Amino acid sequence: MPKLTGRAALMEMLIAEGVKYLFGNPGTTELPVMEALQDYPQLQYILALQEATAVGMADGYARATGKPAFVNVHVAAGLANSISGLYNAHRGGTPLVLTAGQSDTRSLMREPTLSGNLVEMCRQYTKWSGEILNTADIPMAVRRAFKAAKTPPWGPAFLSLPWNVLDGEAEVEIVPSSDGYFRTRPDEAAMEKAAALLAHAESPLMVVGDRVAQAGGVAQAVSLAERLGARVYSTGFTEVNYPTGHPQYLGTLVVNYPEMFKAVASKADVIVAVGCPVFAQFLQTEPLLDSHTRLVHLDSEVWDIEKIYPTTVGVWGDPKIGMALLTETLEQAMSGTEREAAQGRARTIGEEKQKQKQAFVQKARERWDQTPVSVERLMLELAQVMPKDTVVTEESVTARSALNNSIDFNEPGSFFGMRGGALGWGMPAPLGIKLAMPDRPVVGIVGDGSAMYTIQALWTAVRYNLPVTYIICNNGGYRILKEFLTHFYYPLLGATGRKSQFIGMNFAENPLDFVRLADGFGVQGYRVERPEDLRPTLEKALGLGKVSVVDAVIQPGRF
């Protein structure tokens, strides 16, 4: 076995794992990594000006490639800045390996400046969190981290890299993690029980989550839904888990407003959930399901099965294989009459979807010429001018519904949204996606509040010539907070007539000017305030061939 320094062993392992880019922001404890990179030009370092930006880029890259991304940040202080991005990766299941430099192990007892227990900082948001204490263990630890990240259900892993371990020497064997064979076939008895229940359903509801897309199971989801004649919803629209233009897809299931949820769920006699946590809520409300609800849950994440609600049939297995098997089993279980009924349901659902579309278009027409620009017009105009192969990312929160009603995302990999809830993903993630898909246009739709968390991503876009077009939905405040305050919190208090001053929720006193902010980073910016200027400005920005920002001033809403 060759004798290598720890830093060289790390580089060799990254190459063996197929890593092309290191996303990071360095500090003193990362100097061994930065020094070693000089001897490995096949590894490109992508510099972020803040750690959350580095993790956001890596998150986008990993989701676009379906392979673990590698991030390196600076000891406890820098790692703390990374936690928001790590939280998103954890909640959404992004395969990435986050690392941080650590102080020399011989000085840890002295509690050196900037240091801390890095492993414990990350443990609750990772599949595995560890610290390398011996140089000889570097290949094993890196291999373990990559294996953990890419084993379904996907998720992040963390490694602490002490300075002296990277500078030490040892005989090492450079062997990457195996490709792995992770598609677990569900139990046949569970398939038969689920099929028996679903075959006789008169109003089935199908709910899909991101582990459908991660398993490559979109086509199987369509086949299952069509066989059932089921209404289809997403738990949260963050990837293309079902073609949004399909006649049976009706949008995102809203779980934080019980009345809206129950308006959908009450129509179902059986719910089949695939690749998602079942109705995890942000807000405390009454239970969404009662013990009489018949629920079938197929997932690769065994912890999510029956985590909250009683489950009639819980099925642990690969979503793609499981849905294919369930569809085959249904073919045998359903009678001719039941198949005809499913086809009739599908036609009725398609008609319902058409009415939804017509209502959205009618609303857009009514607000078409209003100033400031309506969010409906912004998204419909964008849909008209975007190249067909554009990849769209979204962290616009309150503009999300208009986006989903304006653009159909039918191909996996054509859309990526923020997940987990920690803001700041929307600016850096498109850059990672552009690195993964250099031949496709990338448009990042970001709310004005969200953009300010990681606005420094514009510097990285210029530095590495990543031509992303950013559309900033500038409504002058934190509209989502206003909506929750008005439509949830006040009714909860029994104070529906109260008028809020929206303290801490407005930027109007000191408006955000994203054109000037963009100019400070050397980025071309455009501001749109009048509806008639919207389309030509979007066309100009999309055709620029380099990073650009469209500061679209949109209606703030009425509360």
Q: Is residue 451 part of a domain?
A: yes
Q: Is residue 259 part of a domain?
A: yes
Neighbours of 38 (CB within 10 A): 7
User: What tens-digit pLDDT sequence spans the chain (559 residues)?
Assistant: 899 999 999 999 999 999 999 999 999 999 999 999 999 999 999 999 999 999 999 999 999 999 999 999 999 999 999 999 999 999 999 999 999 999 999 999 999 999 999 999 999 999 999 999 999 999 999 999 999 999 999 999 999 999 999 999 999 999 999 998 999 999 999 999 999 999 999 999 999 999 999 999 999 999 999 999 999 999 988 999 999 999 999 999 988 888 888 899 999 999 999 999 999 888 888 889 987 889 999 999 999 999 999 999 999 999 999 999 999 999 999 999 999 999 999 999 999 999 999 999 999 999 999 999 999 999 999 999 999 999 999 999 999 999 999 999 999 999 999 999 999 999 999 999 999 999 999 999 999 999 999 999 999 999 999 999 999 999 999 999 999 899 889 988 998 889 999 999 999 889 999 999 999 999 999 999 999 999 999 999 999 999 999 999 999 988 7
What are 543's two structure tokens? Answer: 């055709």
Q: Are residues 81 and 224 in the same domain?
A: no
Instruction: Look at residues 137, 171, 205 and tell me which one is the last residue of a structural domain.
Output: 171
Q: Is residue 11 part of a domain?
A: yes
The answer to whether 462 and 547 have CB atoms below 8 angstroms apart is yes
Q: Are residues 335 and 396 in the same domain?
A: no
Instruction: Look at residues 106, 137, 171 and tell me which one is the last residue of a structural domain.
Output: 171
Q: Are residues 270 and 314 in the same domain?
A: yes
Following DSSP, what letter does each residue of 38-54 receive, concatenated? Answer: TT-TTSEEEE-SSHHHH
Sequence-separated (6 or more) residues with CB below 8 Å from residue 461: 431, 467, 468, 521, 523, 547
Q: Are residues 23 and 102 in the same domain?
A: yes
Q: Are residues 453 and 528 in the same domain?
A: yes
Q: What is the CATH number of the domain that holds 38?
A: 3.40.50.970
Q: Are residues 407 and 516 in the same domain?
A: yes
Q: What does pTM read for this prediction?
A: 0.97
Q: Is residue 515 part of a domain?
A: yes
Q: At what angle do helices 51-65 and 429-436 cross, to 10 degrees?
A: 40
Residue the block writes with tokens 């305050």: 485
H helix or E strand, kind and range, residue 403: helix 400-406
* Pair type for strands 128-131 and 96-102: unpaired
d(CA 497, CA 481): 17
The answer to whether 505 and 481 have CB atoms below 8 angstroms apart is yes
d(CA 94, CA 309): 25
Q: Give 352's Cβ-side CA count (13 Å radius).
A: 14
The three-state secondary structure class of 470 is strand
Q: Are residues 233 and 320 in the same domain?
A: yes
d(CA 255, CA 259): 9
Q: What is the CATH number of the domain that holds 292?
A: 3.40.50.1220
The answer to whether 189 and 107 have CB atoms below 8 angstroms apart is no
Q: Is residue 359 part of a domain?
A: no
Range of the domain at 326: 188-353
Total tally of structural domains belonging to the chain: 3
The answer to whether 136 and 8 have CB atoms below 8 angstroms apart is no
Q: Is residue 537 part of a domain?
A: yes
d(CA 401, CA 283): 20
